[in-house]
Structure 1
Amino acid sequence: MKLKGQCAIVTGAATGIGFAAAKRLAEEGASVVIADIKGHEAAATDLTAKGLDVVAVTADVSRDDSVSGLVKSTMERCGRIDIVVNNAAMASQLKPGPFEQKTAEDWLRVYDVNVVGIFRMCRAVSPHMRAAGSGRIINLSSGTAFKGTPGLMQYVASKGAIISMTRALASEFAPDNILVNAVAPGFTLSENAAAKPELRPYSEMAIATRLIKRDAYPIDLANVIYFLASPDAGFITGQVIAVDGGSVFH
């Protein structure tokens, strides 16, 4: 219960890595806001039934007013914001294809959620964390940023941008003891991915590149996210941890 008394926001928390992170933080005593555009109420009901302190809030990180509303409702509920996990992203909706077939609109939509969405969240929580003189921000990047995976250039570029943003944010927030780090997952077998047999070849290809020869699961990421949010990571900032079984070395 190292996070007892703390309040966390996890975006994109209805399913997958976000849900696993919300559950892990709540199990360690945090009050957790499960923020998403759909499925968040069912996720919160599931965790509340397990005796965890969570609440669902509708939030779209591509909208300033929605992010402001999320932060306002969290402050009204908790009176503080200690942890933010920026997990919301456009990923499963994207269709791979040659970059020449993509439009500027494709890029802008992905960046608005994956990159500018993190900026919106950090800007919104900044006054509250700075006033408290502490905070933890964990951003979700991707192993694709290291590998340059073909077919999804706009997505790969957005995840690379998150790494640069994490380092810049760590520098800007350091005077107020706000620590900013990133986690870079490899292909993760979430419940949604497991339900799609057509994705199994991607999982097999990912395992072939790993030193640890198994699938990655959301709990693998959630454990690292919890560590970065915990007191044990109090001297770590501006870092990117690849959680992919040794597929890439960083």
Structure 2
Amino acid sequence: MARLTGKVALVTGAAQGIGAAYAMALAKEGAAVCVSDIRLPEATRDAIVAAGGQALAVAADVTSPESVATMVAEAVLRFGSADILVNNAGLFGNLTLKPFDQIASSEWDAVMAVNVRGTFECTRAVVPQMRSQGHGKIINIASGTVFKGSPMMLHYVTSKAAIVGFTRALARELGGEGIRVNCIAPGLVMSDNVRVNPAWAADVVANNVASRAIKREAQPDDLIGTLIYLSAPDSDFLTGQTIVVDGGSVMH
């Protein structure tokens, strides 16, 4: 039996790349999946259904409390519960590397709105349903850059450092209610957006790979084992933790 049979998962930022890979993997393990993105992620939904899974596609703006409340309501109406939330939506792949004093205030605010407040809004929307069930798994997405102090993207690194603190504090608030809150911190993953972004030219990627104990590029599928572990009953005694998945560039 698949490890997530009977569970319902919600994945934000699931139209492509890592988010789509997360959604496909959860469905493969038996979960019914609500996939969402700023635009309707029909391709991800269709791929899950074509592979024999259950999926619902919802257009949702993670910075809008009304929009994410509708997302959760549609998932519960369609599938009957909300057991897993993967807070994957974020701004990264389209950002350019630049000194901190060249980051426009508007760009700073946009990164914080999506990466930090978006995680807050989606979590706040789903927790009432998880409380009513007496269980739930919230999986946030940070970044290995937090532990490196990576330069030239201060807004992104700051936003992902906030997610580590968010995970720890929320885990203590919700632990007594059967809701586990954990975090994955990927290294540089060669998603579609990263591959086409000139900021991640060959030298940057090569230097990143050179810093790893496992010296190869990371692919979205490299994150799946950790995702499924944090979603499944195997991790029921784990909360408040951030697991770095980057081939051993960061060790903490």
TM range (shorter): over 0.9
More moved, 47-56 vs 166-175: 47-56
Verify the 8 A CA contact 1:115 1:161 in the aligned structure 2. Answer: yes
The partner residue of 1:243 within 245, 248, 251 is 245
Cα RMSD for the two superposed structures: 1.4
Verify the 8 A CA contact 2:9 2:83 in the aligned structure 1. Answer: yes
More moved, 120-129 vs 99-108: 99-108
2:180 counterpart of 1:183: no
1:146 — aligned with what? 147
1:221 — aligned with what? 223
Three-state SS of the structure 2 residue aligned to 1:115 is: helix
Partners of 2:47 and 2:174 in 1: CA distance:
35
Partners of 2:138 and 2:74 in 1: CA distance:
19
Partners of 1:195 and 1:105 in 2: CA distance:
23
Three-state SS of the structure 2 residue aligned to 1:155 is: helix
2:210 — aligned with what? 208
Q: Which amino acid in structure 2 is aligned with residue 50 of structure 1?
A: A
Structure 1: gaps of 5 or more residues: none
Verify the 8 A CA contact 2:17 2:220 in the aligned structure 1. Answer: yes
Partners of 2:219 and 2:13 in 1: CA distance:
16
The partner residue of 2:201 within 192, 199, 202 is 199
- How many residue pairs get aligned? The number is 250
Structure 2: gaps of 5 or more residues: none
Three-state SS of the structure 2 residue aligned to 1:214 is: coil
Q: Which amino acid in structure 1 is aligned with residue 26 of structure 2?
A: L
Verify the 8 A CA contact 2:82 2:126 in the aligned structure 1. Answer: yes
Report the alpha carbon displacement of residue 11 of structure 1 after superposing the two structures with TM.
0.4
Q: Which amino acid in structure 1 is aligned with residue 93 of structure 2?
A: S
More moved, 179-188 vs 97-106: 97-106
2:161 — aligned with what? 160
Partners of 1:24 and 1:66 in 2: CA distance:
25
Compute the TM-score of the two structures, normalised by the length of structure 2.
Answer: 0.95
Report the alpha carbon displacement of residue 195 of structure 1 after superposing the two structures with TM.
4.8
2:70 — aligned with what? 69
Verify the 8 A CA contact 1:21 1:223 in the aligned structure 2. Answer: no
Partners of 1:200 and 1:7 in 2: CA distance:
39
Partners of 2:54 and 2:134 in 1: CA distance:
24
Q: Which amino acid in structure 2 is aligned with residue 183 of structure 1?
A: I
The partner residue of 2:232 within 219, 230, 233 is 230
Verify the 8 A CA contact 1:145 1:159 in the aligned structure 2. Answer: yes
Q: Which amino acid in structure 2 is aligned with residue 171 of structure 1?
A: R
Partners of 2:140 and 2:81 in 1: CA distance:
19
